[in-house]
Amino acid sequence: MNYQWNWGVFLQPSATGDDTYLGWMISGLQMTIALSLSAWVLALMLGALVGVLRTVPNKLLAGLATAYVELFRNIPLLVQLFIWYFVLPELLPPDLGNAFKQSHPVMQQFLSSMVCLGLFTSARVAEQVRAGINSLPRGQKNAGLALGFTLPQTYRFVMLPMAFRLVVPPLTSEFLNIFKNSAVCSTIGLLELAAQGRQLVDYTAQPYESFIAVTLAYVMINVVVMLLMRRLETKVAVPGYIGGK
């Protein structure tokens, strides 16, 4: 193979002139992180809520929560993204739809991507939260209620604190997934890490360097997330709890 390695390419001024290629990579990394983190916050909030609702005695609420999970889990992520980006703005009330279409294109891409990733991941978070709650000893709920706590108080003080500790490990993998899944958003033109990598290939004709750099960036994100989650796990570990660390 006759490949000309050139790691110096990252320091060259980019084709558009106002930045280096390294600058492109960094802006892609920033976009990936901003998108994934904001979608993660959304996913955690909605997922916790829906996961809890799946376990409540009220049949209607539990049913709605189940429908939510099935809907967002079973439609492919790419299809969901196209719906949020291309279809939904047309279905919005005209005022809102136009406001969306007149906003900055990057804003449009970012918002659609964030909502899409957030909701998709929330369904998966909800399943983990539900599993966590269901894995608690049944008597815990009764113990809370027997002390005079209302059902919401029992969730708040008794069941959820333990359930969330139990789901930290599975949530770590969902957290990692959201970074990987965010690459899908390059299909609607959002210039996140993977898209910048591809753009770099087009402009520099140095595919190996470009994709190695992209890969390393994803690996770095993974390592940081895993370290943070492990920290969290130790921090919330319950002394003497069997099955706890």
Q: How many residues bind to other proteins according to rule CB under 8 A?
A: 24
Is residue 17 near other proteins by the rule CB under 8 A?
no
Of 53 and 163, the one with the shorter C-beta distance to other proteins is 163
Is residue 241 near other proteins by the rule CB under 8 A?
yes
Of 124 and 141, the one with the shorter C-beta distance to other proteins is 141
Give residues 151-170 in contact with other proteins (rule: CB under 8 A).
153, 157-158, 161-162, 165
| C-alpha to C-alpha distance for 42 and 113, rounded to whole angstroms | 12
Is residue 140 near other proteins by the rule CB under 8 A?
yes
State in angstroms the smallest separation of the CB of 194 from other proteins: 40
Of 159 and 200, the one with the shorter C-beta distance to other proteins is 159
Angle value at C-alpha 187, between 185 and 193, nearest 5 degrees = 55
Residue 241 gets the label, from left (phi > 0), alpha (psi -120 to 50) or beta, of beta
Length of the chain: 245
Closest CA to 159 of 180, 144, 170, 178: 144
Closest CA to 132 of 40, 74, 220, 52: 52
- Strand, helix or coil for residue 232: helix
Among 147, 205, 223, 227, indicate the residue that binds other proteins (CB under 8 A): 147
Among 100, 149, 203, 211, indicate the residue that binds other proteins (CB under 8 A): 149
- Strand, helix or coil for residue 111: helix
Among 90, 95, 148, 235, indicate the residue that binds other proteins (CB under 8 A): 148
Residue with tokens 């998709």: 120
Residue with tokens 């909605």: 46
| Residue ranges in contact with other proteins by CB under 8 A | 137, 139-140, 142-150, 153, 157-158, 161-162, 165, 238-242, 244
